[in-house]
Amino acid sequence: MEFFKIRRDIPFMRHALVFNAISLVTFLAAVFFLFSRGLHLSVEFTGGTLMEVSYSQAADLGSIRTSVGKLGFNDVQVQNFGTAQDVLIRMPVQKGSNPSQQSERVMAELKAADATATLRRVEFVGPQVGDELAADGLKALAFVVVGIMIYLAARFEWKYAVAGIIANLHDVVIILGFFAFFQWEFSLPVLAAVLAVLGYSVNESVVIFDRIRENFRRYRKMETEQIIDNAITSTISRTIITHGSTQLMVLSMLLFGGATLHYFALALTIGILFGIYSSVFVAAALAMWLGIRREDLIKGSVKKDEDPNDPNAGAVV
């Protein structure tokens, strides 16, 4: 399905150097903030206290956050757990206070605000568990990267694998750079969003690479730059439909999902926007500069040379 069809190819690759220079500057800035400021890790990674509290009626999460904030606890996560009456509270480790003292102070403040507040359970997440989660997260990221490279190399050619994975890592590092610069909380849901962006971004790259391969078979006299421009232009309608629909869903989570989904949706929003950008201007341009050729992809007979603007193009000879 297409909303529109562009008859004349847009010269994306003519401006590839400028856009990749912008990407390089953005990437280096993200790396700088990651090293200079670091990520603001959540309780899952740093350790802390987890409390489950039950109320007789629907809990007011905003009021609970205010009550806990009065005690001097920063970066407290408050969310519903199962039902509207059950609340899960995550608090980071506070110097000079053990987990038992923390939970007692919090429960005293919550009962002062609402006498029906009942403590269901309290758990302490140690720093060692957080370190294990961080290590497992890095392993998951590494497995995803290796898997994507193997897939692209097997389906296309090693030049496409290199271009695709650089573009995808470009998206991941920029997402992390945003979180480091603004000191947004980096939690397990955000890590899941980063891994999702990797898969989502490679999908757009695969669509463009696949169209480039088709064009190499179809247009024998066209230059590589023209082949890539035609491939990107011919998939624009699909890109708008797919990414527009996904972005609407993610924005609804961002705007109406509450504090629990806020950073998860924020990471996906940034990732989707940069995923489109990197697939068009980074992945395709890198593949071109790596020297992709018709011979890299075509092993047998090829199709006759055709006009890329001919609606009847594609007949096999």
The 10s digit of each residue's pLDDT in 278-290 is 888 899 999 999 8
Looking only at the bridges linking them, the beta strands covering 77-81 and 83-92 are antiparallel
* 29 shares a domain with 172: yes
Q: For the residues 90-115, what does the mean pLDDT come to?
A: 82
- C-alpha span between 238 and 231 (Å, rounded): 12
Tell me, what's the pLDDT at 222? 87
DSSP bridge partners of 51: 89, 122
* 138 shares a domain with 121: no
* 226 shares a domain with 109: no
With a cut of 50, say whether residue 314 has pLDDT above it: no
State the total domains in the chain: 2
pLDDT digits (tens, 9 = 90+) for 104-161: 888 999 998 888 999 888 888 776 666 787 788 788 888 888 888 788 778 878 888 8
The token pair at 52 is 């489950």
* 153 shares a domain with 113: no
pTM of this structure? 0.77
* 253 shares a domain with 199: yes
With a cut of 50, say whether residue 303 has pLDDT above it: no
Of 91, 102, 97, the C-alpha closest to 125 is: 91
With a cut of 50, say whether residue 190 has pLDDT above it: yes
- C-alpha span between 128 and 145 (Å, rounded): 26
Q: Which helix (H) or strand (E) holds 40?
A: strand 40-41
Residue 192's Cβ-side half-sphere holds a number of Cα atoms within 13 Å equal to 7
The whole domain housing 141 covers: 12-39+130-297
* 255 shares a domain with 170: yes
* 190 shares a domain with 94: no
**CATH number of the domain that residue 135 is part of:** 1.20.1640.10
Q: Compute CA distances 301 → 131, 230, 295, 312, whole Å.
A: 55, 21, 11, 20
In a domain, 210, yes or no: yes
Domain end call among 72, 94, 125: 125
